[in-house]
Amino acid sequence: MRRFTPTPPRRPEGIRWLRSDGKPNISDRIYRVEGDAQLIAKRPVYTVAKTSPILEAAETIAYRWVRALPVVNPGDKTLAGMVTAMDLVNYFGGGEYYNIVRNRHKDNIFHALRLEPVESIMNPGPVTIGPEAKIPEIIEKMVVHNVGVLPVVLPDGRVYGIITEHDLVERLTEKVVGRRVEEVMSRNVVTIDKRATVKEAAETMVKFGFRRLPIVDTETGEIWGMVTAKDIVRYFGRHEAFNNAPTGKMSEALAVPVTLVGTKEVYTISPEADVGEAASKMMEKRVSSLLVVKDGELVGIITERDILYAVATAGKG
């Protein structure tokens, strides 16, 4: 099994699907697919008030198993921003938001999770879509802005629903797409060693911009499992982190092995397989990515985003 070493931060995922004018080359077939944002959007949509503690956002993501939450103003419930699992991973030790924990809360895990409001780490200017938007416009916004979640917002600013890459892949993908996995997968796979800590995993995710990391034994090259941003959020949202902070320090909770929060269950696919087969397997296993393996060697990773872009541009050169 090949061993992977860290690579420079990747370019935004959608950039390879853009034309020279900065627009995605969406297939004519997609323009013929009926449906609009109001029809596709998932409801009810789980939200969090911007004044709510960060722990509440983590709890909602952990128990609802979503990857992002619209943040609303507490009075009129209009959209104020978005907070994602990666924003929380950044706060939980992965990036610059962790400075809030260290400087404002002196590494106190209880204060950091229960006293800091969501608005401290939310994106106050999220990309949105109107309820009348058609599928090509939805895909174009996701590709151009490199986002996988779009809140559907009514004219009065209230959130009607939410659309994810998963929703579009589920709706658009056929059994045979006509593109092989190896054509659309990411080849520079960033991994984390099984002996690494949760903090090291969080830092790696934020540094390289990946929401998921294969966990490997770097001494043997074997794949142990996978850890995702949602796994780390679940660790905090389900209060497991509190049990690993005997003196109440966030740094203690982050020092545990990544294998404690990751999962050994991983699913693979061949690079020669059709993208439609990869999509079907993701739907069946309820996962958002597959490791691409050839002759026992990890050669890439394919995600729902890769599949969506491949399907949306199928038939285009």
Which distant-in-sequence residues (6+ apart) come within 8 Å of 261 by Cβ? 198, 201, 227, 231, 232, 234, 235, 240
Q: Residues of 230-255 as b/e, b for ≥16 C-beta within 10 angstroms? A: bbbbbbbbeeebeeebeeebbbebbe
| Per-residue model confidence (pLDDT) at position 12 | 45
Tell me which residues of the chain have a pLDDT lower than 50: 1-14, 317
User: What's the whole-model pTM score?
Assistant: 0.91
| Per-residue model confidence (pLDDT) at position 15 | 52
| Per-residue model confidence (pLDDT) at position 315 | 65
Residue of 207, 258, 265, 246 lying closest to 110 (CA atoms): 246
CB atoms < 10 A from the CB of 167, how many?
19
Report DSSP letters for 213-225, one per residue: EEEEETTTTEEEE
Q: Say which DSSP state 229 is in.
A: H
For the CA atoms of 152, 155, 159, 162, what is the dihedral angle to 10 degrees? -10
Kindly report the length of the chain. Answer: 317
| Per-residue model confidence (pLDDT) at position 11 | 43
Residue 41 contacts residue 161 (beta carbons within 8 Å): yes
Question: Which domains, and CATH codes, for the chain?
Answer: 13-312 (3.10.580.10)
**Bridging pattern class, strands 212-217 and 222-228:** antiparallel
Q: How far apart are CA 81 and CA 128, in angstroms?
A: 10
| Per-residue model confidence (pLDDT) at position 19 | 57
| Per-residue model confidence (pLDDT) at position 16 | 59
Q: How far apart are CA 80 and CA 74, in angstroms?
A: 9
Q: Which two tokens stand for residue 130?
A: 């109107």
| Per-residue model confidence (pLDDT) at position 9 | 43
